[in-house]
Amino acid sequence: MITINMKTIKKVILLFGGFTLLLSSCVEDDSVALPAAPENPKLDLTQYTRADAGVMMQGFYWDVEPRGEWYNVLNTKVADWANSGINRVWLPAPGKGASGGFSMGYDPSDYFDVGEFDQQGTIKTRFGSRAELENLIQNFHANNIEVIADIVMGHNSGGGLQANPFRGGEEVYSLFDENNGNASGKFNRNFNHFHPNEIHNADPQALFFAETDLCHDQPYVQDWLWERDDSVGEFYKSLGFDGWRFDYVKSFDPKWVKAWNDKIGGFSVGENFDGNEQVLKDWVDASGSPAFDFAMFYRLDETLDRAKDLSALGNEGNMLRKLDPANAVTFVANHDTEKDENPDNRISYANKLLAYAYMLTHDGYPTIFYSDYENEAFKPQLKKLIQIYNSIATGAIEIIEANENEYIMKRAGNGDNPGLILYMNISDKATQYDISTNWVNAKIVDYADNSRFTPTTDANGNVTIYAPGKSYTIWSLGK
C-alpha cells in the first residue's frame, strides 16, 4: 500500500497512463491508503511467436565511428539484437571505396577488396578487415541472424584517367586495374564498361557519376557482377552474406536485379527512392524483388510532422505495404534520411516512436535504424514494439478511425493468437474511444505500457480504450 499525508494537502492529482484524476478531500487523518500498483497483467507474448515474423536491423549510420573498427563494434551488439527478435542485419557495402578509410561504401572502387589490399590509402575499409567481417558474419549466423550486403552496382569511383572516345576524347576516371583502384585484379574495367559505349548510350537515371555509370548491357559487366563462378555476387556469398540491398535502383534497369537474384539467390530489397507507391509496385513487379516502402515513410512524415493530421493513414493504397505487403520493406529512418537537413525528408525525433508503433503493428517487413535502436531513450520501447510485431501483430487489418488527431487500427489475429488494437493520438490531451473487439468479457492491456488502465470488454466485445496525448497504446488480451 502507498500512504500520503493529507493534513496540508486538500487535492491530490493522480496520473494514470496520461489521464488525470483529481481527488478532493477534507480528511484530517495523518494518511489515506491508496491501492498498490497491480501485478503485471500482460500475457507472455513468446507463446504467440509467428513463423513469418522477423525484423531487419540497419547495422550502420552515416560516417560510422571509429573508422576501421565498425565490424568489431557490431560484434558487441549481436546477442542483444538476437534476443530482441532481429532476424536479419543489413551491413554497409563491403568493398573498398575511392575515399579509402573514410568511405561509406557508396563510391565503389574494388569490389573484391573487403579489407585486405593496401590501396586508396588504407588496408582496412572504414568498417574493418576481411577477417573481422568474416568473424562478424559467423557470429550473426551463430545467433540465427542473416546478413545482407549493400550492393552498389550503378556507379564506380576512384579509377585512373583515360580518354573516352564515346565522350569525344574527354578524359574520365574510368580505368580500373591493379594500379588504378582495383588492386585485386578482378573485374578490371575501362571506358567501354561505362556509359556511353559501343552498344548502349545511357541508363534511365544515371544522376551520380555519369562518366562512370556502369553499363549492365555489357556481357563483361554481367559476367563479373553475377554470372561467373568467381563473380562479385559469388564472392560475397562465399564470405557468408545471405542477401542483398541494391543501392539506388533507379539508375539501372530492374531486370538486372532479377538476373542477379536468379543466379546468386538470397533475400533482396531495392532502394527505389520514390514516395509514389505505384512507382514502387511497378519496380517490384519488374524486378521480382521487395523494395523499401518510401511511400509509407513519406506518409508518416506528412501526417506526423507536416500536416499534423492522421487522416491520410486511413486512405486506401497510398503505401507499398497496402498494395503489396509481402514485398514491402518498411522503415522509419535510414542513413540517408537522418543526415538530410531538409525536415521534409526525415521523421522528427519527437514523433519517431509514434512512427515505429505504426510500422511495427502493420504488415510489411520492418527495418529498425541502428541509431534509433541504440538510443537509450528509444531502446526499451523499441524492444517492446519488436516483440509485439513478432507475436500479436497478425491477422487482417481493419482501420477503425483515422481523423486529425486519432488513428485506430485492429489486427484480427488468427487461431489462438488474439491480435491487437493500435490507438495513436497526436493531440495534446488524453483521449478515449468506444470500440467493438473480438474479445468477449475479457480484460485487455496496453502492451506498449503507455497506459495502466485495464478495461474489460462486455458480453458483445465492446470496450472503451485510451491513449495519452502525443502517444499511443497497443491493446490485446490480458490475464
Buried b (16+ CB within 10 A) or exposed e, 402-432: beebbbbbbbebeeebbbbbbbbbbeeebbe
Give the total residue count for the chain: 479
| Residue 126: all three cell numbers together | 572504414
How far is C-alpha 94 from the chain's CA centre? 19
Rg (CA), the chain: 26
| Residue 115: all three cell numbers together | 579489407
Does the annotation list 223 as a binding residue? yes
The amino acid that residue 449 corresponds to is D
Contacts of 281 (CB under 8 A, 6+ apart): 320, 323, 324
Cβ atoms of 389 and 353 within 8 Å: the answer is no
Please indicate whether residue 271 is annotated as part of the active site. Answer: yes
CB count within 10 Å of CB 83 equals: 10
Buried b (16+ CB within 10 A) or exposed e, 105-127: bbbbbbbbbbbbbebbebbbbbb
Determine the Cα–Cα distance for residues 364 and 297; give it in Å rounded to an integer: 12
The amino acid that residue 89 corresponds to is V
Q: Taking the C-alpha atoms of 115, 66, 82 and 87 in order, what is their torsion angle to the nearest 10 degrees?
A: -50
Which residue(s) pair with 13 in the sheet? 22
The amino acid that residue 405 corresponds to is N
Single out the catalytic residue among 271, 302, 363, 372: 271
Cβ atoms of 374 and 382 within 8 Å: the answer is no
Work out the end-to-end distance of the chain between its first and last CA atoms, rounded to an integer number of angstroms.
22
Determine the Cα–Cα distance for residues 50 and 390; give it in Å rounded to an integer: 6
Single out the catalytic residue among 247, 274, 324, 446: 247
Q: What are phi and psi of 255, to 5 degrees?
A: -65, -20
Cβ atoms of 206 and 155 within 8 Å: the answer is yes
Please indicate whether residue 247 is annotated as part of the active site. Answer: yes
By CB atoms closer than 10 A (0-12, 13-18, 19+), residue 67 is: middle
Residue 287: its H or E element: helix 277-287
444-446 and 471-477 as β-strands: parallel, antiparallel, unpaired?
antiparallel
431-436 and 444-446 as β-strands: parallel, antiparallel, unpaired?
unpaired
Angle of CA points 195, 196, 202, to nearest 5°: 70
Q: What are phi and psi of 48, to 5 degrees?
A: -110, 15
Annotated binding site for Ca(2+): 223
Instruction: Just list the catalytic residues.
Output: 247, 271
Annotated binding site: 223
